[in-house]
Amino acid sequence: MSNARFRRPLFGAIGLLSLLAACGSDSNSPKPVNQWSSKAAMPTSRCCLAAAAENGTIYAMGGSSSSVVSLCTVEKYSGTADSWSTAAAMPTCSSGAAASVVNGIIYVMGGGGATVSNMNLAYDPAGNSWTPKAAMPTARINLAADVINGIVYAVGGYDTLNESATVEAYDPAANTWSTKAPMPTARGALGAGVINGKLYAVGGFSYASSSNLATVEVYDPATNTWTAKAPMPTARRGPGVAVLNGKLYAFGGVGSAGLVSTVEVYDPATNSWSTVAAMTTAKCCAGAAVLNGMAFAVGGTETGGVVVNSVDAYTP
């Protein structure tokens, strides 16, 4: 198993497990395509963080450092200035949480510290303030989440001992949760993205089979059903997942031989995968967000289990 890290719950505690070119100065220079570029480094090196973009800013929340199991740290990145600043810390420290945005509010749920958490915190960027919300019914770490029609869907992850197929939906307007059809494949350390009103659950790791997964399953909230889709060419856990121009991008993670820099893109119109420019450095367990038409990989773990603060952006 790679020494890259992601987080899995153990009895009574959470363990850390193994999750360039820029535009020229000429304003008329063409925008680079199919390439990665380095952005301003995050102040705090960390992996297993939650990330979300809102109003031209990426928020990096929680995670683990080389010495701290779970962080409360929140830092924000300005895409315009290519710079970072500090925001209000999370009231509950967490690593391996998931983040989603509804109507300008960022919701951070699950993750863990000394125990697996079912927390659900709402961050208001305008007021730089946090508010506790109705807790998830099922405590989970290394889950994924995304939004369809104003509802947050929290999928998979690990409960106290095992990978989970659980799917729970949070309605911020009512501050209530409901249970939905479970994923066909239980897993944690997966990614998720929404295309055309459907949620795609991608990759992950199964302890039951001791294997990284290439599995892709799509959830349709209109019918509350799951459907298998073409698997990723590269099975992996801890990938970053982002949706750009109606296609889903999976980048980095841990494969059968360790960390991968491979980037693969899924086209739902053809139910097929293709390969695009690899990441400049292989990493897993980075925060993933989309800003200004680019996919960002924030922090993460690189070769040797080194927790980093690097930030890379992909332009399709």
Q: Where are the beta strands (DSSP E) in 203-271?
A: 205-206, 211-212, 216-220, 225-229, 240-244, 247-251, 254-255, 258-259, 263-267
Spatial CA neighbour of 293 closest among 229, 230, 243: 243
The per-residue pLDDT for 41 is: 98
Q: Where are the beta strands (DSSP E) in 260-305?
A: 263-267, 272-276, 287-291, 294-302
Residue type, 30: P
Spatial CA neighbour of 156 closest among 213, 107, 105: 213
What whole-number distance in Å separates Cα of residue 275 and Cα of residue 266? 9
Q: What are phi and psi of 252, to 5 degrees?
A: 70, -160
The per-residue pLDDT for 114 is: 87
Q: Are 20 and 257 in contact (CB under 8 A)?
A: no
Q: What are phi and psi of 161, to 5 degrees?
A: -130, -30
What whole-number distance in Å separates Cα of residue 236 and Cα of residue 284? 9
Q: What is the pLDDT along the chain (316 residues), one digit of tens a residue?
A: 434 444 444 333 334 333 323 333 344 556 679 999 999 999 999 999 999 999 999 999 999 999 999 999 999 999 999 999 999 999 999 999 999 999 999 999 999 988 999 999 999 999 999 999 999 999 999 999 999 999 999 999 999 889 999 999 999 999 999 999 999 999 999 999 999 999 999 999 999 999 999 999 999 999 999 999 999 999 999 999 999 999 999 999 999 999 999 999 999 999 999 999 999 999 999 999 999 999 999 999 999 999 999 999 999 9
Q: Are 194 and 147 in contact (CB under 8 A)?
A: yes
Tokens of 115: 């125990």
What whole-number distance in Å separates Cα of residue 277 and Cα of residue 88? 36
Q: What are phi and psi of 303, to 5 degrees?
A: -55, 135
Cα–Cα distances in angstroms (integers) from residue 30 to residues 22, 26, 81, 169, in the given order: 11, 9, 20, 42
Domains in the chain: ranges and CATH: 6-19+38-315 (2.120.10.80)
What whole-number distance in Å separates Cα of residue 103 and Cα of residue 122? 11
The per-residue pLDDT for 29 is: 54
In terms of C-beta density within 10 A (0-12 exposed, 13-18 middle, 19 or more buried), how is residue 268 classed?
middle
Tokens of 283: 């990493």
The per-residue pLDDT for 30 is: 63
What number of CA atoms fall less than 13 Å from residue 109's CA on the CB side? 32
What whole-number distance in Å separates Cα of residue 162 and Cα of residue 78? 38
